[in-house]
Chain A
Amino acid sequence: MKSPSPLRAAFRQALGEAWAGGAGVLLPIGFFAGAAMLVPFTVGSEASQLSSIGTGILWVALALASLVSMERVFQADLEDGVLELWAQEETPLFLVAAAKIIAHWLVSGLPLVLLTPPIGIALQVDPGALVPAMLAYGLGGLAFFLWGGVAGALAASVARGGLLISLLALPLFVPTAIFGALATIEGPGGPSLLFLSATTLFALSIAPFAASAALRLAVD
């Protein structure tokens, strides 16, 4: 029997893990909503103040929530030996790494993007601006997941590497956070959305290679 291609296997496995324990799909959602909920308690409930910082709060919550389940993404594959098989396949490892990260973004990143309008409305952001802003949150979230994936791959062989992943990935989030926050304020017509897409494409062109180099290190 021919074994399935590692690319499809990695993709399907990541989708399947979303409903398993540990790295479940509900965990990032709960973290995202909970972090955003805490903000009115700390900065005050004044509507004008909340509406001016609401989109930024969503960016911070998105950046942090993207790291919540990153620890398990490659660690599980390392522990059950799948990673070693993938490293020996003909399919380039960087494609497998990209497939894993993008599948992980689909199950733990995209739901957060879909959740931004209701939370944004609760934070008194103009509802008309929130639907176009979802494009920015989606693009920015993908960049967060890609850099987080590099950090996750680097820390794959480290026990309890969750905090390490955050320390490694957060500085790399800076350009995306800056252009993302500007893009949600400017709206879809402004130049910042183009810069934001550029940072995401940049991450897409570098992160898979760095992640695959890190995975080879974890396997050895």
Chain B
Amino acid sequence: MIRAFANPHRFMALSRWLAPVCLGVGALLMLWSVWQGLWVVPQDDYQGGDIMRAMFIHVPSAWLAMASYMGLAATSLVWFVWRHELADMAAKSIAPLGAAYTALCLATGSIWGKPTWGTWWLWDDARMMSVLVMFFLFLGYMALRAAMETRQKAARAGAILAMVGAVNVPLIKFSVDIWSSIHQDASVLRLDGPAMPPVYLTPLLIGGLAHMIFFAGLTMMLMRAEVWGRRGDVLIARKLSGS
């Protein structure tokens, strides 16, 4: 299965049409969920009135932030064990997207926090702190890759760092949770079914799906750019060597 997708030619042929399709479908679904969130669903006074509509961006971006770190760790592991170049390209592409989603999550969270909690930033909130630490892990990953001399070294160093970070993330999460959290308890994934009324839940889940599809499309686009960049390097090297 992995072997079939590890072939760059097959990847280029597949992503050629799949990436634009993902971007288009993701954008359409995203627009629908934002439209639902902003104009259709009733406001919830318990969550601060109209400001709770930020949820339709905030919650998907939090999901994507976590998913992208998992993706970064998984692709790094695949590259480190099997040295599939596409896995490294995927890791390299996921990192800036993950950083952007963590930043979006923090920004929307603090905009939502200002009217409901009365403050832009709550240091003793566990989830905010975990996401902030994750943001710095992404920044460190990108800075390390950028500092390395060769592509091969950047890939190896990045993979080591991403795996070290990944084993630390549960520990960071646990230690930060020891702090008191004033966030409400998880209200979507619970054993006795979601606590959220379906009128909110449906646009939220569609929004999450939309961001995931859009994210996949963006990742494929960045990976394609990386493949083209490497092909360009090969062409330049050939020209310089005069063959």
Q: Using a CB–CB distance below 8 Å, which chain A residues touch chain B?
A: 150, 154-155, 157-158, 161, 164, 167-168, 170-172, 174-175, 178-179, 182, 195, 199, 202, 206, 210, 213-214, 217, 220
B152 CB, min distance to chain A CBs, angstroms: 8
In the bound assembly, the distance between CA atoms of A219 and B242 in angstroms comes to 32
User: Of A175, A179, A202, A220, which is in contact with the most chain B CB atoms at under 10 Å from its CB?
Assistant: A175
Contact check, B160 vs A155: say whether CB atoms are below 8 A apart.
no
- List CB contacts (< 8 Å) of B146-191 with chain A: 147-149, 153, 156-157, 160-161, 163-165, 167-168, 171-172, 174-176, 178-179
Q: Quick check: B172 and A167 within 8 Å, CB to CB?
A: no
Residues of chain B within 8 A (CB-CB) of A150 are 164
Query: Given A158-B148, A167-B143, are A217 and B174 also a contact pair (CB < 8 Å)?
Result: no
Interface of B with A (CB < 8 Å)?
A: 129, 133, 136-137, 139-140, 143-144, 147-149, 153, 156-157, 160-161, 163-165, 167-168, 171-172, 174-176, 178-179
Residues of A within 8 A of B163 (CB): 210
Q: Which of the residues B137, B140, B156 comes within 8 Å of A217, measured between beta carbons?
A: B156
Bound together, the chains give a CA A168 to CA B165 distance in angstroms of 9
Main secondary structure, interface of B, reads helix
The reply to whether B160 and A206 form a contact with Cβ atoms under 8 Å apart is no
Prevailing SS type, chain A contact patch:
helix
Q: Which residues of A contact B167 (CB under 8 A)?
A: 206
Closest A residue by C-beta to B80: A213
Q: How far is the CA of A174 from the CA of B175 in the complex (A)?
A: 8
Interface pair B179/A178, CB less than 8 Å apart: yes
- A168 and B161: CB pair below 8 A? yes
Shortest Cβ distance from B16 into chain A, in angstroms?
A: 34
Contacts A168-B144, A172-B168, A213-B160 hold; do A199 and B136 have CB atoms under 8 A apart? no
Do A178 and B171 touch across chains, with their CB atoms under 8 A apart?
no
With a cutoff of 8 Å between Cβ atoms, the chain A residues found around residue B160 in the complex are: 154, 210, 213-214, 217
* 20 A-B interface contacts by CB (under 8 A): A154-B157, A154-B161, A155-B147, A157-B149, A164-B140, A164-B147, A167-B136, A167-B139, A168-B140, A168-B143, A168-B144, A168-B161, A170-B136, A171-B165, A172-B168, A174-B172, A175-B171, A213-B156, A213-B160, A217-B160
Q: How far is the CB of B97 from chain A (nearest CB, A)?
A: 19
